[in-house]
Structure 1
Amino acid sequence: MSFDTHETSAFRPHSSHWGVFTAAMRDGELVVRPHAGDSDPNAILQNFPTALRHRARIAQPMVRRGWLERGPGPDRARGRDDFVPMAWDAVLDLLGGELRRIRDSHGPGAVFGGSYGWASAGRFHHAQSQIHRFLNCAFGGYVASVNSYSSGAASVIVPHVLGEYEKLTKHNVTWDQVAQHSEVVLAFGGMALKNAMVAGGGISDHVERGAMRSARARGCEFILVGPLRSDLPEEAGAEWIANIPGTDTALMLALVHTLVSEGLHDRAFLERFTTGWPVFEHYLLGTTDGQPKNAAWAAPITGVAAEAIRALARRLHGRRVLVTVAHALQRAEHGEQPVWMGAVLAAALGQVGLPGGGYGYALGAIGYYGRRANAVPGPTLSQGRNRHGNYIPVARIADMLLNPGTTYRYNGQTRTYPDIRLVYWAGGNPFHHHQDLNRLRQAFAQVDTLVVHEQAWTATARHADIVLPATMTLEREDIGYSSHDPLMVAMHRIAPPYAEARDDYDIFAGLSRRLGTEEAFTEGRTAREWLHHLYARTQQGLRDLGLPAPAFEEFWEAGRLRLPQAADDGGPWRAFREDPDSNPLPTASGRIEVFCATIAGFNEASCPGHPAWLPPIEVPGPGASLHLVANQPATRLHSQLDFGAHSLASKRRGREVAAMHPQDAAERGINDGDIIRLYNLRGACLAAVRLTTDIRPGVVQLATGAWYDPADPHEDRPLCVHGNPNVVTRDAGTSALAQGCTGQLTVVEVERFTGNLPPIRAFDPPA
């Protein structure tokens, strides 16, 4: 395809996880315009123009010098070594030979297929689909990962106690219902717009702000429970209850205790729609352990006054209440408990299944939650079948690499970590998602070979042995589709590939050819022919409904296709409420499991058979006296395009910004705008500080996503000069049930940095 000035100067449709848009190349510069139909467009789109040709992009295939000279094997030089450029044919021959060696000597069970991240809104060039298809169809299988860093605890416990996770989050209470019916929205952890501004597959209209504004104008009360006032937008006009981080379960228990002790709970609902309430009630009232979980008990744990807790419980009685629990709450030690307890609170209020009421777990966490589903299927690339079948919980990758052959507990099973020799990563940056990055560096040093497809020199790419430059979404054609957005987008190519970058599909096709399995991977199709093939699924769905089904060429020329959507009928929760016998939940009892015999039978002390307050191991104390909230950033998605102009504009003196209460700052001699050092026994990082009263005293907040930038990569515990909080977060599972990520909360000490300020090299290519 030609890319002359005339061809690329016209604005063409495209999509991203941050929103639908059009773009064009004008005088050698990329210009991006949000979709005209988006009522609240996402400014993250403006990271694209400066990122497209940034110096951080990877220009050609590279091989780590130590791996090239000494061959495969464990090597502490990863992340410390320099790189040697190599031609595409030569590097694919080299990698093909290494894949054959691993397969023939150790089998598919020695390969971990890492692809955790938001790769592309396009459904074909989705790196996760591409690498899994390659490993399944062209290699013979691999060790996979299950669940996510975002919802690892919730996705395991919800099926046991509430039913299908996807249904709970995607086919439940919608934003339209909130705007029209909710009288109280009790949001534990809030519903920050920065989270809802992104959605897998793209999003054409960001409706959350408008829905909260409409609900508030109608008289709905929003109550935010959490340490950060900004976790609900100004439009919600929220009342702020600033509890101690990680204590939401104790607060919920005290609310339910007040409801029960004052006879305000819905006994009829609990009897008909739940199972195990009497067992839980014994715990709640203290008959099993001698400690009633009342407001007086919860007050010193939560930092919320006992009378305020009792008053809040009374306000909830008899009103259309929606209880929401953010993903953030379960990204912490014992993260299963607030998810479960939030459902029990909603059940005690008797609102589950009513329009705008009940339990909206993670509403606001992702852009496609709280929306109507599409009524026709989307263009999805088959990943094939993994014939090997082994897996780990995604947040346990360092444990796996450091402890092969050891056992661990997961979801009632005793499993064994495999012996991984090769890690193949395409799409995602574990040096963003994972915790205790110094430990992760040690883990990656254990494998024979680390292969990475990347667009830019992330820390993951810098730790790789073989680095293959991949195209950015603007440099390829695709189809943008989300299961809960009505606009399907023909994603036109806007710019030519950067330097020698190739599509993941082309890279895997070349490797498949060298393994003798090209037909199994490509099925004889080019990338454009795959788009035709995948579009046919949606086209047939439209025909089945008797609706116009334009040919692919018509769709591509038009640039967009509006799809029909299903009714806003409350999903399985509404049906369950209307007739629980005919529409049981997919739990062991068919009911909401307040006490779960299955979980109790696992005999895990870290996750008992009913929701409970389990004190955390890490609490503020000498040497680490502050809670650190390591939440999601507002100016990028995770770590994606951290070098883009919009992301860079949010930094101070080139570093990520931490929020701190003036009281805590004064005690440490810290002024607004200072560079501070956050540290604990695991590591340390620098950040600029912003003082604000919109954060609870005793808490410091530092968003994730700043690219890991060690002052001296040769040290075992180097200082990150850029502000990545995951150098101090704890790499441990939420519990033996889910083994989810606990990266949201940790404890640190903070001091004013007085030394020579190290330069930031995160976006400079390595030697």
Structure 2
Amino acid sequence: MIRTGCPAHNCGGRCLLKVFVRDGVIVRIETDDRPGDTVADPQLRACVRGRAYRKRQYHPDRLMHPLKRVGKRGEGKFERISWDEALDRIASEFERVKKAYGNSAFYVPYGTGSYNQINGRQTAQRLMNLYGGSLGFYNSYSWAAISAATPTVYGTAVTGNQRQDWLNAKYILMWSWNPAEMRDGTNSEYFVQKAREKGARVVCIDPRMTLSAVALADEWIPIRPGTDAAMMSAMAYVMVDEKLTDADFVRTHCVGFDETQMPAGAEGAESYKDYLFGTRDGVAKTPEWAESICGVPRATIARIAREYATTKPGVLYQGYGMQRRAYGEQAVRAGCVLAAITGNVGVPGGWASGIALQAPDGGPFWLVFPVGENPVKAIIPSFLWTEAVLRGKDMGEADGVRGVPKLATDIKCIWAVACNALINQHGNVNRTARILADEKKVEFLLVQDNFLTPTAKFADIVLPVCTQFETWGLEDGWKYGDEVILMPKIVEPPGETKSDYRICSEIAARLGLEKTYTEERTERDWVAWSLDRYRQSRFPGVPSLDELENSNAGIYSVPVTKPAVAFADFRRDPAKHPLPTPSGKIEIFSKRLHDMGRPAEIPAVPKYIQEWESPFGPEAAKYPLSAIGHHYLSRVHSTLEGVDWLEEAFPQRLFINPVDAGPRKIKNGDRVKIWNDRGAVVVKCRLTPRIMPGVVALPQGAWWTPDAKGVDRRGSVNVLSSERWTPLAFGNAQHTIMVQVEKAEAA
């Protein structure tokens, strides 16, 4: 039995596994059972995905050999080739692209298939940087809007207390947050449960009655997708109107609340109170106003406002689904402002909201493998890579380009490592497929993966990668946590599979960079090097690699006995410990956003803005249902697709309320067609009252599988989603979808 970290996909957790091996084969997987399980240092128990991983490890569809495309891109027609032929072709294409277009034509896209140091895109980025660089990116598909919006209020992303402090809360609002399914840090659901056992009231606000709502909450409040900022604004109205705010804290620690607090240069601008009471637009943001927008009864809105404002300290935890929408920045900022005006910032049991990285140091690193400096200074928003393929030379600051006034070239070569975001996880799959099918645009596409994913089917060369059980690795927590987990090599790689690091080393050799790239280190050597980085920073007491391996503990953790509270010093003395905002205070009104001069899309105070696809827009006549693509226990995004144990327990279905199914003559288990102008999906449905009427949910991550007519038959929600981006963060808005649903014809 070997203890190891659960393979480091982007699941929201980092857990400890017990892997049982017989004759070089994994025969059973269990999870953490260390004695002394405490709130300060809890066990890191894996979910069903980690426990079922053996079925992925030995899946018959795993890639075993290098492949060369012999058909059209996307057809999935390949032939087996040798490693030498594959590596020679790659080196030749790299040299050709570099000579013809320069290094900014290369792109190593966002991909979250591995964070174990040795497998993952970081290994390719290191080589690219040594080779002269590549077009870079910033933000992510997960956190773009929330990462950009939070600092506009607090000046930092480190706005979260250590989670043990949740046990000091008396009220917890789980807003668009579902830790029981997507984890959001191993044990987040455990800490909520413990807080509830101590008497905290827990309310879940979500379009779906999620597993978190069922298991953790005292109350579920369904809300129409994309309208969270409307409900938050109405809650703020109630608090201000009924004098439930922490007026002293607002006066001493905030700017922009009312006309007396406006920053220099914006004295006559609209304050937050002006917005709430309709001073400028004539519309007071009352619960009555919000009810018609968000679908939450006015009495419920007012009650939740009073509860959160008076049952203190309280946590308003914002999940990420509500910020992957058309104006996702607004709900984030509105939640931060609710925390501020109630005085729940900088106190034990409170929560400043926003992205909430862990105090005091920002929490886990995720990756410490050294990629070096990128000689190419141009970077783009991660979600806009298709734009850089189509019109890169025309992209500049207005398109989110940083580092240069304008891109020098379009993307011509993509090296996708541990990445299914080119096709499956990007918005508007059919559009992306058309872009990648054109070999005059992206001239060379290299993919490294464990399986022939929808993205890999468009590759010119596909390289087979071993799993994290078949190489060395190291991981720390996912957003939260105070532990380092060792991932020793447990079994040998099958077939001709290799680690991403070894593949990159062999490409480096073809480019004359092998010694510079490897520094003559093996995979295990780099894990030892990575442990040293943790020893020099967050974990000075972490054992050596030999000690950790020989102990078979699998983990080094630091108990949290006195949880850190974000902004405690600022709360105590804002003059001595100012925030890193322009004013040094919490910016309810952002002068920086005001000066951008785009108030309709980027207002200086958080506002509800009707989405570009909405039940209230003209598109609703044709497409009346809001669709969302939530996380699901059968997959980690698109990873673990095809694992029969998980699919039996959590089959891919369209979830639809009987209120919407009835007029369409749809019965439970029927095959239904979901479509809009971007494409169509056919999949079985599940009728359930656990979703708000007017909303349907299709779990994200199912592999795009089009039939001869282009209709997806697997349930890929990104056939329906859009490639449009949010105005401030240039982030993905893939949850803003309007669709129609009907019973599918027999096929």
| Same-fold call, TM cutoff 0.5 | yes
Q: CA separation in 1, counterparts of 2:297 and 2:680?
A: 34
Name the structure 2 match of 1:647: 646
Q: CA separation in 2, counterparts of 1:754 and 1:731?
A: 29
Name the structure 2 match of 1:60: 65
Amino acid at match of 1:30: V
| CA spacing shift, 1:625–1:50, aligned 2, 3 Å | same
Name the structure 2 match of 1:494: 490
| CA spacing shift, 1:297–1:486, aligned 2, 3 Å | closer
Among candidates 264, 289, 296, match of residue 288 of structure 2: 296
SS in 1 for 2:642: coil
- Give the conservation status (yes or no) of the 8 Å contact 2:16–2:45: no
Among candidates 129, 146, 151, match of residue 122 of structure 2: 129
SS in 1 for 2:392: coil
Q: CA separation in 1, counterparts of 2:400 and 2:587?
A: 16
- Give runs of aligned pairs for residues 7-46 of structure 1, distance below 5 A: 10-17=1-8, 19-26=15-22, 28=25, 30-37=27-34, 38=43, 40-46=45-51
Amino acid at match of 2:278: G
Deviations 1:70-121 (A, max 9, x none): xxxxxxx31025212210011101110110111122111011111421314x
Q: CA separation in 2, counterparts of 1:186 and 1:563?
A: 29
| Superposition deviation, residue 515 in structure 1 | 0.9
Among candidates 247, 268, 278, match of residue 227 of structure 2: 247
- Give runs of aligned pairs for residues 208-227 of structure 1, distance below 5 A: 208-227=188-207
- Residues 1:273 and 2:275 are matched in the alignment: no
SS in 2 for 1:298: helix
- Residues 1:187 and 2:174 are matched in the alignment: yes
| CA spacing shift, 1:113–1:591, aligned 2, 3 Å | same
| CA spacing shift, 1:374–1:640, aligned 2, 3 Å | same
Please say which of residues 492-501 and 669-678 is displaced more in the overlay: 492-501
Name the structure 1 match of 2:371: 383
- Give runs of aligned pairs for residues 628-647 of structure 1, distance below 5 A: 628-647=627-646
| CA spacing shift, 1:42–1:416, aligned 2, 3 Å | same
Name the structure 2 match of 1:429: 420
| CA spacing shift, 1:56–1:732, aligned 2, 3 Å | same
Cα RMSD for the two superposed structures:
2.4
Among candidates 68, 82, 86, match of residue 81 of structure 2: 86
Name the structure 2 match of 1:3: none
| CA spacing shift, 1:213–1:664, aligned 2, 3 Å | same
Amino acid at match of 2:237: H
SS in 1 for 2:79: strand
- Give the conservation status (yes or no) of the 8 Å contact 1:325–1:360: yes
| CA spacing shift, 1:589–1:163, aligned 2, 3 Å | same
Q: CA separation in 2, counterparts of 1:389 and 1:463?
A: 28
Name the structure 1 match of 2:162: 174
Name the structure 2 match of 1:47: 52
- Give runs of aligned pairs for residues 535-546 of structure 1, distance below 5 A: 535-539=531-535
- Give the conservation status (yes or no) of the 8 Å contact 1:374–1:564: no
- Residues 1:453 and 2:458 are matched in the alignment: no
- Give the conservation status (yes or no) of the 8 Å contact 1:378–1:537: no
Name the structure 2 match of 1:333: 326
| CA spacing shift, 1:48–1:79, aligned 2, 3 Å | same
| Superposition deviation, residue 362 in structure 1 | 5.2
Name the count of aligned residue pairs.
706
- Give the conservation status (yes or no) of the 8 Å contact 1:375–1:565: no
SS in 1 for 2:681: strand
Q: CA separation in 1, counterparts of 2:401 and 2:488?
A: 47
Q: CA separation in 1, counterparts of 2:597 and 2:354?
A: 26
Output the TM-score relative to the length of structure 2.
0.90
Deviations 1:538-582 (A, max 9, x none): 44569x96x5x6443222211334243566454442221111112
Identity of aligned residues (%): 26
Among candidates 429, 435, 456, match of residue 443 of structure 1: 435
SS in 2 for 1:361: coil
| Superposition deviation, residue 514 in structure 1 | 1.1
Q: CA separation in 2, counterparts of 1:114 and 1:222?
A: 39
Amino acid at match of 2:736: L
| CA spacing shift, 1:432–1:581, aligned 2, 3 Å | farther
| CA spacing shift, 1:587–1:299, aligned 2, 3 Å | same
- Give the conservation status (yes or no) of the 8 Å contact 1:684–1:720: yes
Amino acid at match of 2:7: S
Q: CA separation in 2, counterparts of 1:377 and 1:53?
A: 30
- Residues 1:606 and 2:585 are matched in the alignment: no
Q: CA separation in 1, counterparts of 2:469 and 2:392?
A: 40
Q: CA separation in 1, counterparts of 2:367 and 2:410?
A: 36
| Superposition deviation, residue 270 in structure 1 | 1.1
Structure 2 portions without partners, runs of 5+: 35-42, 259-270
Name the structure 2 match of 1:394: 382
Among candidates 270, 283, 286, match of residue 275 of structure 2: 283
Q: CA separation in 2, counterparts of 1:667 and 1:23?
A: 50
Q: CA separation in 2, counterparts of 1:84 and 1:379?
A: 35
- Give the conservation status (yes or no) of the 8 Å contact 1:115–1:131: no
Output the TM-score relative to the length of structure 1.
0.87
Name the structure 2 match of 1:728: 720
- Give the conservation status (yes or no) of the 8 Å contact 1:706–1:722: yes
- Give the conservation status (yes or no) of the 8 Å contact 2:347–2:565: no
| CA spacing shift, 1:282–1:538, aligned 2, 3 Å | closer
Q: CA separation in 1, counterparts of 2:395 and 2:367?
A: 39
Amino acid at match of 1:678: I
Structure 1 portions without partners, runs of 5+: 1-9, 67-76, 200-205, 364-368, 757-767
Q: CA separation in 2, counterparts of 1:608 and 1:619?
A: 20
| Superposition deviation, residue 228 in structure 1 | 0.8
| Superposition deviation, residue 406 in structure 1 | 2.5
